[in-house]
Structure 1
Amino acid sequence: MVLFPADSGLWCRRFHPSPDATARLVCFPHAGGSASFYFPVSSELRDRVDVMAVQYPGRQDRRAEPCVEDLGELADAVFAALQGQDDLPLTFFGHSMGALLAFEVACRIERSGLKIERLFVSGRVGPAVVRPERLHILPDDDLLAAMAEMNGTDARLLEDEEILRMALPALRSDLHAVETYRCDPGAGAVLNCPVTVLVGDTDPRTPLDEAREWHAHTSAGFDLEVFPGGHFFLSEQPTAVLALLDAHFAASQAEPE
């Protein structure tokens, strides 16, 4: 086990300080992704939401640190880093690998006696769905081809081979974490908060029937929202996704205490 300091400044990025925020959104990036993926979300919601984006080891300003190849270990580290961040109502948002990680951290938070307002999961099948994928063991060129074929990497990165190859270790590590992950129903895998699932209608990695399997992991409300686009529909439909988040925070703040 790799031990990390429980430092929210190390693990989370705030791109836009929000001194008047009445809620907090914690965002979890996809495999190979970084906190900066959520810069537009932070920019749009900053007037009333404190947006924190998780920064995994092994990328950007944490490139010198070892990557984490175990999702449970990564969830433990993020959970530790979020201690003391419950002074505002917490909402989680995770895309792809980030959806599983957000779920695992949410489980840990609820088991500690704290509350999550809602979990938004995007571009990911239910936690208990096991897919026999082994992308993390592919040779570099084959892995890059697979990412390009399923639109699993930002198109701008695909045009810059040097940057892409620098990102490969983090991508491979993240894929290992996802592909070896197994949901443990005995560890309290049913949340007490509502779950909203976001899916692109042409995403080959997230069939609707398998996305609906998230319903088994909440004892509260469940919603499925389908958007035009593929695996990275978030980048294709930013206005619609942000409107969904904004509606959530508006409704939460309108609820009587």
Structure 2
Amino acid sequence: MAFIPSVQYFDSNSDWLISIKDLEINGRNKKNPLKLNLDINSNQCKYLGCPNIFLRTRTSGLCNDHHNHQHDIFLDVYNFNAHISSPTHAQIINNLIDWSKSRNFDLINFFKDCSFTILGNVPDISTISKEINHTGFVSKNLSAYLDICIECVNRHFPSDNNSSYQKIKIKNIEYPARVLAIIFVGLLLCEESNRGDRWFWREIIKDESRTTLLGGAMPIAYFASMNFPWGMEIGKAAPKFIPSGI
């Protein structure tokens, strides 16, 4: 198993840092949802170097030993080198919405950009580790996918704009708005890699409609449910429409 080096982004204007590290098999390793043997033409595990054999009808293409991802990437947050407990997707979204309303800031463009830029463009973590290979595709390193996420933040919360650093308090900790956006896209990256299959169906099979897991789409769907102008009663119930876990 190839350890994936940690990647970091440091926001020098605010002294906040996010770090994404590989917990390997010591994390909450999720089932690998890929269908690497769709045409049922192989009976050997597709995990790099694995000799295990199984029935050809196993469409996952993975043996019992590699049924789950062998990696789990996890996001840490630091401010002035002190470790800070990361807010959840829901906490970030709720507080950004409240902040944006008082400043007439259009969050929809940011979340739309996240949807088009990140969802379906980040491979699963076993592909990023290069232990699952696909004909005609070579994965970028994890740092390159983090760069894609940061570019998305830069388009909407630029580092040279003072409003990007307006403070938002969550559980007695004041986060700059830009930092919350950076944490959010970092969490999306982890969610897409650890739990998603959209990239596989979109880029390898060329049929995104066959995606079976929400992955990073779940928190964006939560934003949509919270930001839509529901009537009073349904608005209060909106979070219940989205699966738990964000």
Q: After TM superposition, is the score higher than 0.5?
A: no
TM-score under structure 1 length normalisation: 0.27
Which protein shows a greater Rg?
Answer: 2
What is the TM-score when the length of structure 2 is the normalising length? 0.27
